[in-house]
Structure formats: C-alpha cells, structure tokens
Structure 1
Amino acid sequence: MMHTTVGWHVELEFREDEQHTEAAALVRLPDGSEVRAHGHATRHHTDPHQPRVGEEIAGARALNELAMQLLTKAHGEIDSASGRTSHSINV
C-alpha cells in the first residue's frame, strides 16, 4: 500500500487599527489553484486593546470561510466527476 504526503500552504495576513482587525486567508492547492477568504473583528470601545485577540477572531473567521469554500469546491468536483449531486455535510 502506497502512502502519499501532500502539503498545503495557508497564509494569513492581518490589517489592524485601534478598533478593527481584518484577516485575509489564502491556500494554494497542489493543482495550482488558490482559494481566498476574509474575516473581520471589531473591538468594543470598552474592551482593552488586545491586538492578538482581534487577530485570533478575524483569523478564525477567515479560516472558517476558507473551509466552507473548500467544501463547496470539493462537492462541485464530485458532482462533475459523478454526474450527480453530492450531499454536503454541515459543519
């Protein structure tokens, strides 16, 4: 039995000001395609300034969106190859 190791490279970039954090996520797939997603976090004015927390929230939201896009992409590929509609699993 042969095992194949495949690696995906995921990049996250953040833009921040005193109140907002935006995250951009990108994954490059082995076939050369790319999937991109964005996430956002807003600090409530009474919360202390904690940039790392904003990054974690915005990053998680971007990665969640990335995951949903990858599921949609995979189901589209299954549908094309099989000629029928695949059933998605809700995350």
Structure 2
Amino acid sequence: MTTVDAKQWTVQIFITEDGDDTQARAVLTTRDTATVTGRGHARRNPLDRPIPEIGDELAASRALEDLAVRLHDVASDDIVQLTGPIEA
C-alpha cells in the first residue's frame, strides 16, 4: 500500500459584532502560505429576538461563500496563466 502525503489547508473565521451588525472574515491558508480571504455580513432586524449565534452563522456562511468564489477566481487565473486565454 502506497502512503500519500495529504495536503492540509486551514480556514480561520474571524467574527466581530457591533450592535446588530456582524462581520465575518474567512481566511484560507495553503501549505505554500498563499492566502485567500472571503467576507460576509449579517444585520439583525430590530424586530427579531437578539440571538447572536444566528448572526454569527449567517455572516460566517456568507464569508465562506465569498471565499469559495474568490478561490475559484484564483484557480481560473492560474489556468489562464498556464494555458493562455480561452478564445471564443
């Protein structure tokens, strides 16, 4: 059986709250120390009950979604650099 070295990438999520606003930043760090950052925001409706965890979850999920889009853009740029632009 062949042993394969697994790559490990780390995502850290930083959450800050200011009143009814919650900001999240998701930072992906690769083994090669490259980083990609996504950002998310949530705002509690004043009529809703104040449950901070919900704002945290929404802001973090939006930051991860933004991170995924940005990571896809990085991969697309890398492909273009290695293969040249795609002609229509």
Give the TM interval when normalised to the shorter protein. 0.7 to 0.9
Where in structure 1 do 4 or more consecutive aligned residues deviate above 4 Å?
A: none
1:67-78 to 2 correspondences below 5 Å: 67-78=68-79
Could you say which residue in structure 2 is the equivalent of 1:45? Answer: 46
Q: Aligned residue for 2:66?
A: 65
Gaps of 5+ in 2: none
After TM superposition, the score normalised by the length of structure 2 is 0.88
For the aligned residues, what is the CA RMSD? 1.8
Deviations 1:18-77 (A, max 9, x none): 311000111111222111121000000000001110000000000000000000000111
Aligned to 2:32: 31
Identity of aligned residues (%): 32
Letter of the 1:10 counterpart: V
Please tell me the residue identity of whatever aligns with 2:60: G
User: Normalising by the residue count of structure 1, what TM-score does the alignment of the two structures yield?
Assistant: 0.85
Paired residue type of 1:49: P
Number of residues of Structure 1 aligned to a counterpart in Structure 2: 86
Runs of 5+ consecutive residues of structure 1 not aligned to the other structure: 86-91
Write the distance in 1 (CA, Å) between the matches of 2:13 and 2:72. 19
SS in 2 for 1:22: strand
For the residue of structure 2 that corresponds to 1:6, the secondary structure is coil
Q: Residue in 2 aligned with 1:88?
A: none
